[in-house]
């Protein structure tokens, strides 16, 4: 997947009966961990939008247990024709489970997003920089999703995003929750390569998300 320009991904829990508003997205993030039969849904998928396959682990906001079968399912998704990227957690690579998904993605010329999700807080700026730098060494995009407690948390995240971009690293950053909600709109201005939004807020996949239609409009109004 080409991340040289900003990609707005529609975050969905199913590929069946997607709404018309999905056409406002550049790609679809398919949360396989939230689907009862993700491989069957991939088999039936026919839209002309590339897919980011994600089988999120439990300790980072998903429903899948960290084990070999979780990675097996993600690896099985990679050869499907519309899958152009996967998302695998940095923690899973460090633990030894996730590297196989990275290797399989490389074999099929599929991009890898290496992600970290913190639902409790935002690290200090040096740690943010370190997480993003190490993540970009392992994959094509380093993704960091954090939770802001004070406004300076968002400022530090944007500073790190800008620094990484100037260094030539591709990163995707966002601050979850109400305080950090606006970061999803302004992050592309600092170089963030991916934004995420559900077509319907009733099916939001992370706290503080805008709907796909609203986020597309807000980002467009700033460009």
Q: Of the residues 59, 117, 182, 193, which is catalytic? A: 117
pLDDT at 203: 79
Joined tokens for residue 73: 């399912």
CA distance 49 to 201: 20
Q: Are the C-beta atoms of 111 and 140 separated by less than 8 Å? A: yes
- Which pLDDT value is given to residue 66? 86
Residues 59, 143, 149, 217: which is the catalytic one?
Answer: 143
CATH number, domain 7-117+180-222: 3.20.20.70
| Whether residue 137 lies in the annotated active site | no
3-class SS of residue 54: strand
Helix pair 125-138, 151-166: axis angle to 10 deg = 40
Residues 11, 29: Cα–Cα separation, whole Å? 5
From first to last of the 223 residues of the chain, give the pLDDT tens digit: 999 999 999 999 999 989 998 999 999 999 999 999 999 999 999 999 999 999 999 999 999 888 889 999 999 999 999 999 999 999 999 999 999 999 999 999 999 999 999 999 999 999 999 999 999 999 999 999 999 999 999 999 999 999 999 999 999 999 999 999 999 999 999 999 999 999 987 778 878 899 999 999 999 998 7
143 is catalytic: yes
Q: Where are the domains of the chain?
A: 7-117+180-222
Instruction: Give the number of other CB atoms < 10 A from CB of residue 165.
Output: 16
């Amino acid at each position: 997947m080409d991340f040289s320009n900003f990609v707005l991904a529609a975050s969905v829990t199913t590929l069946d009966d997607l709404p018309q508003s999905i056409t406002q997205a550049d790609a679809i993030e398919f949360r396989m961990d939230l689907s009862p039969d993700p491989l069957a849904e991939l088999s039936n998928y026919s839209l002309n939008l590339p897919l980011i396959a994600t089988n999120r682990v439990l300790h980072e906001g998903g429903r899948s247990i960290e084990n070999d079968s979780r990675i097996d399912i993600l690896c099985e998704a990679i050869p499907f024709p519309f899958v152009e990227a996967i998302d695998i957690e940095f923690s899973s690579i460090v633990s030894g489970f996730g590297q196989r998904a990275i290797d399989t993605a490389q074999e099929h010329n599929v991009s890898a997003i290496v992600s970290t999700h913190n639902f409790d807080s935002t690290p200090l700026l040096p740690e943010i920089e370190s997480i993003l730098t190490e993540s970009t060494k392992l994959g094509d995009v380093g993704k960091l999703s954090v939770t802001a407690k004070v406004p300076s948390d968002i400022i530090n995240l944007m500073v790190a995003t800008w620094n990484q971009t100037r260094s030539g690293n591709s990163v995707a950053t966002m601050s979850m929750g109400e305080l950090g909600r606006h970061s999803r709109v302004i992050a592309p201005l600092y170089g963030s390569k991916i934004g995420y939004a559900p077509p319907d807020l009733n099916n939001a996949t992370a706290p503080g998300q805008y709907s796909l239609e609203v986020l597309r409009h807000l980002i467009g109004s700033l460009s």
